[in-house]
Chain A
Amino acid sequence: MSPDARIDITGEVCPMTFVRTKVALERLPVGGVLEVRLRGDEPLKNVPESARDAGHTVLGLEPLEDGTWRLLLRREAGPC
């Protein structure tokens, strides 16, 4: 799946990991897909969970060869 936007939060720490993700999702139209590159246990657990709590859909989460993870989120309607 080809995302509509990409962000890299591998250099961020909480809470900026989800702040970046939330702002990027809000800038997408409803139905748009965001690719998030992330690293570490905390964002791996919290970013998908926070995205779900905000009403968005987690389309996939997969490890990459360089030790980072690729998270795909679909922007849903309603508050971000």
Chain B
Amino acid sequence: MLSEPQIQRYARQLLLRDVGERGQEALGAVRVLLGLDGEVGDTAAAYLRSGGTEVERLPTAGAAWADMSPLLGTRARRPVAVAASPGPPEGERIVVGARGGVHMVWSLGDGGCSACLRGATRGLDPPGGGSAGIQVGTLVALLVQRRALGIAPPMEGVEVSGVGAISALAAPACTHQPPAVPPEVLAELVRHLARSLPDEGCAVLVGRGDRIRVVPMENAQNAHHARDPEAFPRPARTAFTVEPRAWLALLRATEAAGERLVAIAHSHPDGGEHFSAEDRHSAAPDGQPLYPGVAHLVVAFRPGRPAVGRWAVWTSGDFAESECPLPQQS
């Protein structure tokens, strides 16, 4: 609860819809570790402090953020770090930089992808000073405040052109984390895979924007196994293959519809829930993924128990697994 002096001091911004008393408390619950110098840093600090947020100016702007990690981890208040590109490696953070006279400010919060932030800020020069620096400093303060108030998406960015025009930057479609697939789509996928039992089933998730749909595929493994058991030693109960022509047709249809491949899914009727060594080899035969940015999903079936799902996403040179909660089947 704000004190009477605080209500008097912050009266103007208490009136704002996204602020109010709870928002003002949230602004005061953040401690900004500001690793920016010059006009950018001075302006950001002034706006943040006048808005009720504590700011700690770091004397080592541009230094290795590894030295700062104790600061990030030990503060009682919620820390938000602000720095020039590449910025700190973890935590809630704002990263600032410039390229060709255009300034960019990127903000990452809980649920945001560090790899996407690194990609968006890679190779940026340090921000400039003067009037551009003042303008960028106000945007830094704004993005910190949006994050403190809980109204910022996991990743957001703003660009300032050479003539001072401000525009929002679209966050990249993240391919470093498992895609967000609606439960009803996962349920449809599991039903399709269940129909293939006792063989492995396979399907593809394609999407445009936030909309994702299932494209059921046929497991052609048994036909290949019968024709060429040396090249295809395993039957469909333990392996899957999509006919090349069907795969090509899928890729063409996806492109024509303006969609993209989101994930390749297959089932393990034997109950193995992990993305196996064989799966990894098939998905990245030469040590690099055949379909960069496309996730893999394994659905394990176990008699008498619900299916178990696991994502496998290519991150930092290998497939990283994570759980994919599946909806209960009726």
Residues of chain A whose beta carbon lies under 8 Å from any beta carbon of chain B: 15-16, 18-20, 22-23, 26-27, 54, 79-80
Contact = CB atoms under 8 A, between A and B. Distances in A.
A22 B14 contact: yes
B170 interface: no
A80 B11 contact: no
Given A79-B20, A80-B20, A23 B15 contact: no
Kindly list the 8 A-B residue pairs having the minimum CB-CB distance in the complex, ordered from nearest.
A80-B20, A19-B11, A26-B21, A79-B17, A23-B21, A26-B20, A19-B14, A15-B15
Residues of B contacting A: mostly: helix
B17 A54 contact: yes
Contacts of A23: 2, 7, 14, 20-21
Contact of B18 (A16, A26, A79): A79
Interface of B: 1-2, 7, 11-12, 14-15, 17-18, 20-22
Given A22-B21, A80-B21, 20 more contacts: A15-B11, A15-B15, A18-B15, A19-B7, A19-B11, A19-B15, A22-B14, A23-B2, A23-B7, A23-B14, A23-B20, A23-B21, A26-B21, A26-B22, A27-B1, A79-B17, A79-B20, A80-B17, A80-B20, A80-B22
Contacts of A27: 1, 21
A15 B15 CA distance: 8
Contact of A22 (B1, B15, B18): B15
26 contacts: A15-B12, A15-B15, A19-B7, A19-B11, A19-B14, A19-B15, A20-B7, A22-B14, A22-B20, A22-B21, A23-B2, A23-B14, A23-B20, A23-B21, A26-B20, A26-B21, A26-B22, A27-B1, A27-B21, A54-B17, A79-B17, A79-B18, A80-B17, A80-B20, A80-B21, A80-B22
